[in-house]
Amino acid sequence: MPAEIISGKKISEEIKAEIKSEVSILRARGIIPGLAAVLAGDNPASALYVKMKAKACEEVGIYSDVIAKDRSCGQSEILDLIDELNARDDIDGILVQSPLPDHLDEAAVTFEIDPGKDVDGLHPVNAGLLLAGRPAFEPATPLGILELLDRSGHNPGGKSVVILGRGRLVGRPLAVMLAHKSSKANATVTVCHTGTKDIAWHTRNADIVIAAMGKARFLTGDMIRPGAVVIDVGTNQIDDPAHLRGKRVVGDVDFESVNEVAGALTPVPGGVGPMTIASLLQNTLKACRRRHNLD
């Protein structure tokens, strides 16, 4: 029997409706949440992601300011821009779209962002607060995954969760968040990576498997136990002559084989991606409320 398909698109729309309602209340008081997105370089995927984020802001009533910089922009120019955004009263959240051009120091740019406006949750201050169990802003994709699991009826509390991948954007913060003693977490977490022996042994013993390795179709049906919940974070381009552009996007999960074994599964696209954007909006609203002492 095919798996239940967990629609991140549907759940993200529910979250955005909640945000829109809260934003309308703030607007009635003359408070307009604002998000600034910095786009450096000419990466088509980055440009598309920023466009989607700006569109989502418009849908819920959040002001957005997209600032595009040429690929040749220097480090000092980007840092000066961040300082300007830190000081702007109409901006509650700042995100710098990754990846930056190779000549820019992404860590230094992240460090320059005011932690109170770091809606990506990547500043060392926010990363430290997360590890201490006192999170201010949680990274958007891991936050979206927790919301996705909880709202789809697959709360991870008390369950065995295996995360494939230990990256700073998803794997590492997600492991910390899932282990927190909270209503949407409280799981037993295992993180698998390139140094893990027999990854399939771990995934076959998991209630929930979250694939965030960046390897197309890595997780196959024979690597999970029947009825497991599988969350696919991957976005990989593969060659496909049948598609108009000769390529298509697939996840880190081999959808066809896993679909025959899993109890529930997220698609790519339409799974985690929309939840990341919804979580970014949640963090922006949270930043606005905090700046105006409303929390």
> Is residue 119 pLDDT above 90, yes or no?
yes
Exactly one of 92, 118, 120, 254 is catalytic; which is it? 120
> Is residue 23 pLDDT above 90, yes or no?
yes
- Identify the pLDDT of residue 243: 74
Q: What is the rounded distance in angstroms from the CA atom of residue 73 to the CA atom of residue 86?
A: 19
Q: What is the pLDDT of residues 216-232, one digit of tens each?
A: 999 999 999 999 999 99
Q: Please state which CATH number belongs to domain 31-114.
A: 3.40.50.10860
- Identify the pLDDT of residue 227: 98
Asked if 163 and 190 touch (Cβ cutoff 8 Å), the reply is yes
If you average pLDDT over every residue of the chain, what do you get?
A: 95
Task: Check for a shared fold between 31-114 and 140-273.
Answer: yes
Exactly one of 92, 97, 159, 207 is catalytic; which is it? 97
Measured CA angle at 100 (ends 116, 125), to 5 deg: 25
- Identify the pLDDT of residue 97: 92
Q: What is the pLDDT of residues 162-212, one digit of tens each?
A: 999 999 999 999 999 999 999 999 999 999 999 999 999 999 999 999 999
Annotated domain spans of the chain: 31-114, 140-273
Closest-CA residue to 92 (of 291, 293, 295): 291
- Cα radius of gyration (the chain): 19
- Identify the pLDDT of residue 196: 97
DSSP string, 127-185: HHHHHTT--SS--HHHHHHHHHHHHTT---TT-EEEEE---TTTHHHHHHHHHSSSTT-
Q: What is the rounded distance in angstroms from the CA atom of residue 182 to the CA atom of residue 10?
A: 24
**pLDDT band for position 1 (cuts 50, 70, 90):** confident
Decide if 120 is catalytic.
Answer: yes
Decide if 53 is catalytic.
Answer: yes
- Identify the pLDDT of residue 72: 87
Closest-CA residue to 233 (of 270, 205, 259): 270
- Identify the pLDDT of residue 69: 92
**Two structure tokens written together for 132:** 């201490």
> Is residue 46 pLDDT above 90, yes or no?
no
Q: What is the rounded distance in angstroms from the CA atom of residue 58 to the CA atom of residue 126?
A: 27
Alpha-carbon separation of residue 202 from 198, 235, 271 (angstroms): 7, 23, 23
CATH class of domain segment(s) 140-273: alpha beta
Q: What is the pLDDT of residues 135-150, one digit of tens each?
A: 999 999 999 999 999 9
